[in-house]
Structure 1
Amino acid sequence: MTTLGRRSSTFTRLLRHGFTDPSAAERLLESAELAPIRNDPVLLEALGATADPDLALQGLVRLLEAQPEDTPRRELLDTLIAAKPLRDRLLGVLGASAALGDHLARHPRDWHALVMYEPRDLHPGVEEFERGLAEATDPVALRVAYRRCLLSIAARDVCGTTDLAQTAAELADLATATLRAALAIASAAAPDDAALCRLAVIAMGKCGGHELNYVSDVDVIFVGEAAEGADEGKAVRAATKLAAHMMRICSETTVEGSIWPVDANLRPEGRNGPLVRTLASHLAYYQRWAKTWEFQALLKARPVAGDLALGAEYVDALEPLVWKVAERENFVTDVQKMRRRVVENIPVTEIDRELKLAPGGLRDVEFAVQLLQLVHGRADTSLRSGTTLVALEALAAGGYVGREDAARLDDAYRFLRTMEHRIQLYRLRRTHLVPVEEADLRRLGRSMGLRTDPVAELNREWKRHATVVRRLHEKLFYRPLLDAVAQLAPGETRLSPQAARERLVALGYIDPAAALRHIEALASGVTRKAAIQRTLLPVLLGWFADSADPDAGLLNFRKVSDALGKTPWYLRLLRDEGAAAENLARVLSAGRLAPDLLMRAPEAVALLGDGDGGSGLEPRERAHLDQEILAAVGRADDAVQAVTFARGVRRRELFRTAAFDIVGSYGTETQPAEADQGALVDRVGGAVSDLTAATLAGTLRAVVRAGWGDTLPTRFAVIGMGRFGGHELGYGSDADVLFVHEPREGVPEREASEAANKVVSEMRRLLQVASSDPPLLIDADLRPEGKSGPLVRSLNSYEAYYRRWSLVWESQALLRAEPVAGDEELGRRFIELIDPLRYPAEGLGDDAVREIRRLKARMESERLPRGADPTLHTKLGRGGLSDVEWTVQLMQLQHGWAEPGLRTTRTRAGLAAACAAELISVEDASILDEAWVLATRVRNAVMLVRGRAGDTFPSDPRELAAVGRYLGYGPGHVGDMLDDYRRTTRRARGVVDVLFYGA
């Protein structure tokens, strides 16, 4: 083969083995130093396995050139050929670290540090590193010995002999040995000072946590005491000199570079405080002045050098304070704010490259783990590790973090820390920024084992892990349960039978013995489920106690937990998912309706979480309800099954709406009570009305499908009336409706009428089938001729009736007519038919006004239940719903023809339109609106509390207190609630007397 051919072949082989500059590599391979092994195929294979083959080859040639004579060079070459472990370790280091390559070029015999490959040498500890530094008696020698030890750690790291956690622990052990050696050098230089004092060096941060980086400040705190017989003042000054000298030995730059900066700024008062304090001085500072973050830093405190017994005293003295810090007011929010400040201080130009501090970075994992430790570690000592991954594993084992979440965080943290290590290893510089140059990214990716497309794979994996970290950080770090647990007294974070009874009585539980049985059933045992319950229950008990019936709340929680006990997501949801636990506590202790609905469909607990991008309790739009119900009807085998499906959706959505109402009315720690209660009333009324309409639409579809297939012989529409048409239904309201049909072209009137009547009959039958679901009763009594008239009429029949026989009360009833299901075109034409009746041209005559007033007065006198208090009856009582609605409807009948805004089926919208048209003063409109909203809320509250509808306040004291809690009245303020209701409705009646009765 020609020389050119050989060169071409070598060039290709070099490219194939990962060299980016094959021409330079060819020249290096031709160097005299490599002559004995240049043709050995093993060499290229080994170089190709490194992070940067070009850098590894260059470093190898430099190392061979630096050998003082032929014999050492031959020894190195022979070892490279014969010993694969050494070859892999040496070339691995040279290909990953230019800085260590420089060190080997300056100290060519240090490659011997990589020769040993015995099992006992794989994971050296402090003692082994101390032996490696033992001969260093001055700062320069210490640096050389330190780099030699670092060389062996890096070799094990890049070859995969150690994992991330082991490498970080070895680096921390090497730092410990180095601090001890530096202190020994300082003490030897000033033996008089050393004799005067006891000096303890406490490692903090990553060194204290046994998880150090390759290049990182080593955070320390110094504790000094007088030696026996010495003066304390002189001893502290002597200790300060020793500490300062020790710091200089490690931090200052010499011809051999520096080791790492020793940072003592975590000490009390930071850089403004004395470098060394006595133990008593430290303790006094932390007891009186320390900030929350200082206790968080102490999580990782570990004695490492000097007087280790004094160091242990320091840790033992401060440990109780560390585990009390979570009891501070606003502790959780303070830690969260501190994390946000860190992010805010990142330069804009660096945030996308910042591996440590940016969102999704290492600090997100560390802060989340530390916050969980400080909150839960007060009672659970298994969580008190200073090492992030060990603490994370303990949090998962204890049920404080989901196992899957913990595994993902562990995986992401290891990947990001490994990136950080390999970035720092290259130049041995302190940095957390991902490089931007293609060559640097390629070397970094290859060092992480990514070989197909190192740069693209690295960026993809980095972003994936950062996204996981950010999502789980938000989930764990900001979950409301943390703040609630932090606010508990230390004895309350774990329930003991001895203390629980007293606490239950103090919280207001009427039957503490039964409550204790529930707690025992939920939290006893060693299962993971019991462990999570033991975390949840102390907080839930307090939330239950904030209701009118904590016993019922706890009982309901046990029932739900028993029903969902084998469902893996249930307790995980309560622990992790936003405000789910507090929402559940509020719902279960608010009365009967929501818990009853939940018991029939326990899986609806999932709605109490955050949902997709927002609250899972937000009522769903009509279009979404229609889509789900109609799809379920389409899958059903028959009409009965179809309506069963529709009822199931209605049950779940009624629970969603009831929970939304309760949380909006009561408020939670993270979600204050709805400020605009009128808006909340509108949302609830609209949600129940939409749900009723969607259920009727699904039932209609099921009936038509079962009896006629795709097409009914007549067009058919359901018209909502009363509160249904006004989008103001309550939880227990009947659905007032009219049914209208119109024969299709070519269909005889009789056939069409028979079909329409069959549809109505079948709809009513199916909706009245016995079921555990809340009933949905159709009331068609507002139809022409009332109960004696036909249930369904054709559009022409309605037109004929209204033209000839309609009375003024029917015009008034039609004010709230609105199509809700069936043929949309037919519904629109029905509205066109009735508009002239409900908005009569030129308004009402005097006779019609008198008739309406007469009907209202008669209703008040005849329909108010015997013995009912007219000042507290929400519907027919003074200033109640009927008063406000009839007043608004009279204005609509009189002025709707001239004021388009009045042409609405909604009471509050009609009142606002009347105000805008100056038919009522702003003050009077506000008075009526307030009364209507309050009366509606009372009706909703009664249904939520009692589980059945009612138009007046309950007589049972506990139920009455629960209604008060819904309305925002705390314990002991039921009388205030009734007084406020009477006052509000009395003012409304005054307006009604003037506007409606013309008084």
Structure 2
Amino acid sequence: MSRPSLISPPAELQALLEHSLPSFLGRLDDAGQAAFAAWPEERRDALRRVFAASDFVVEQAVRDSAMLLELAASGELERRLAPGELRAQLAAALDGCAGEDDLARRLRRYRNRQQTRIIWRDVTRQADLAETCSDLSDLADASIDLAYRWLYAQQCAQSGTPVGRRSGAAQHLVVLGMGKLGAHELNLSSDIDLIFAYPEGGETEGARRSLDNQEFFTRLGQKLIKALDAITIDGFVFRVDMRLRPYGSSGPLVYSFNALEQYYQDQGRDWERYAMIKARVVGGDQAAGAQLQQMLRPFVYRRYLDFSAIEALRSMKQLIQQEVRRKGMTENIKLGAGGIREVEFIAQAFQLIHGGRDLSLQQRPLLKVLDTLAGQGYLPAPVVDELKEGYCFLRYLEHALQAIADRQTQMLPDGELERARVAFIMGFDGWNALLDRLAHWRGRVDWHFRQVIADPEDEVGEGRQGVGDEWLPLWQGALEAEAAQHQLHEAGFVDSLSAWQRIEGLQHSSPLRAMQRLGRERLDAFMPRLLAAMAERDNPDLMLERVLPLVEAVARRSAYLVLLSENPGALGRLLTLCAASPWIAEQIARFPLLLDELLNEGRLFSPPGKSELAAELRERLTRIPEDDLEQQMEALRHFKLAHGLRVAASEIAGSLPLMKVSDYLTWLAEAILEQVLQLGWRQVTQKHGFPLCEDGSLAREPEFVIVGYGKLGGIELGHGSDLDLVFIHNGDPQTETDGAKPIDSAQLYTRLGQRIIHLLTAQTASGALYEVDMRLRPSGAAGLLASSLAAFERYQQGEAWTWEHQALVRARVLAGSETVGERFEAIRAAVLGRERDEAALRTEVSEMRAKMRDNLATRATAGGTAAEAFEAAAAFDLKHDAGGIVDIEFMVQYAVLAWSRQYPELLRFTDNIRILEGLERAGLIASSDVRLLQEAYKAYRAAAHRLALQKQAGQVSGDHFHEERRGVMRIWRELGLA
């Protein structure tokens, strides 16, 4: 494209000159006035044009009038610099630099001088687009390389010279320039994309304390960035962007050649291939840089026609199209439809596909690539001519936008004065005329862009989108932080900043950095779908917080991401469950195998019954070889996790009421305990043989029972409950087993108990089955792990405390020998049903309750007894405070101990609800009070379940459950329990 025309400044810009010209002239001394007076009229006209166009030039001229006069005197305003001249000038300007601050000052002043010259020549049309871009790129190259060399010498003097461990040679940094810098196409206010590398590892030599080469070059890189990027009173040199390096902002600042090669070979993504097309050594060791680029060339250019890149390019194109649709993009001449980026994409798409075989495409400057595409027949010449003309128009316009204030922008202005300036710089009589021409070129560019690697499926309808496509730019990092947060806010995320930070945190996390290419592609396909699904639901912030840890957890097992991508129903169920419960979210994140359960909605929300549970587990274990303990333990854990999730899901969905939830969780534990007992028995008998029965025969089945206490015995397990267990056997310590390593029978059953605990509590890849509490066995932690029936009976009849008899109310046999179980039940009935002094019993129960309340209840409200305990500001502990769960349990236990001698039917059940029904049938507690206690008990437990699923303590505010609490406390008093 020919350069834009020169026109006279319009009236509104003439007014600017009435202020700017006097400001400049007023700063000139007598010598300066004389020098200015000698300027030819053409230069004065040029000054007026430039002052009318650029506030930046005016600011620099007023601030340093001598600089502008020096530029004029040198003739540089009217001539093109010779090759190498700019670098030589900067080298002279840096000669004798006194320190890093002085380096920064000199770099910035030279940059401002050159920026003034380049804008002058651009606005006055003495320079074409190629010269402007070349000068800006040369300025960047010289600034980077000369600043690096000065800093390198200083760093070596301080820390020694870095030396390669293998080669023994001095090491230099290689600075790769990416994007427009790499292509020698910088714009007037461009940032520079850099990657830092060094040839090999080693240490510095020549200093008192050596440094690792990585550390040396990291420090050097940090200083180089500061020298170029930091804003001082003199401005900046170039804004530096390091995000194109491996792992982006979270990765190391500097990489060895081997580390770079390994990264791109193992994890390099297609967009990184796309970016690496433009890479060029812009500073440091040019020879080593050429070696590095040769190492990376196979990553960028395949040796064959690379049609595998087509799908990746199609995704990138889709990404561009999605960003174009974003609000505000129509005004962006780079990122909007028909913008600069679309021309770049057309050229680079052909380079990626054909560049491995056609070496003529392995070049960086865009206009030259377009010429090659025409010359080699990849694109018709008229198409290339249109693309070049449109591209040049857009780049000239980009420079016009940036020349005004040296600001990095590609947005069309909305102010009248700035519009007048841009139209004037571009040679148009008015803004509307410029817009008409711009619309023409953007339309042509966009049309050609749409023809490149078109997806046949997209031809069905314009603007057709896949699921989540609108989130591709955000996830791929194509949006600035502000734009990303705006999109999140528009989608319903309340705290869009935190949401964006969470997403960025995931992108930079170690598991994602370690992903292989296939896994990363799967993640890139999944994340937009996930964000889109969240945006369609209430409270997406909460879902994002709870689901992203799962994504991070499965990052290296990306088949799960495919599962969720290809099963929208499963993804929806995942979001529903995680939104409802952080406990579920944490479980799935810890054990991603649970995602399989989300596939079948009917099964997920319909857990099997007790007999079906036991049969299913037996069947699973029969498929595993008997000697494969590891697989057996994993199968048990998988079974428990899967069915635990089904119960929680059903509870959240409302298909299981509280009592059924506890039933299912208890049945699940019983089924597992039954199989664990069998596994343990098999293991100990294989080693030691079988014990003898009372009749002298071999006991082929264990004369042993597992007794459940507490919530397990009372059929009241909750999510995450531990198991209160007691082991009882009928072994004879005077007899030995018949195996190769015989031990006495009592010792065998102790070993069996140890194996059971190990099988339940051992941490495997899938966690532990249950936490186990054995403290309720006779003599507690000091007692034998497994008690004989006789010892258990002696202890309960002669040594046990009243609170241990209270615990026995909820004890029941869960697994093991029917005969031993029956004898245990007989002992239990005899102990609980013996005659007691009710007054003494009331005192003992009351004292134990008081101790518990003092230690465990809410102290601020005297355990829930103070008046303020019923205020909203107070907390009510559902379990331990007065009127809560423990009060009800103690009343039931007191009643059984006090009255079961007369009413043995009270011993039939171990759960509080049915014991209360028995008390009602016996006429021991009024029906209305039984109803109150049952409903209060269920209400408290339901609330505790909900809190457990939310991973919250079992407390509610004091203004809850007033009627229930007061009723429970009243009945407590009426029973005489003070």
TM-score by length of 2: 0.42
TM-score where L is the length of structure 1: 0.42
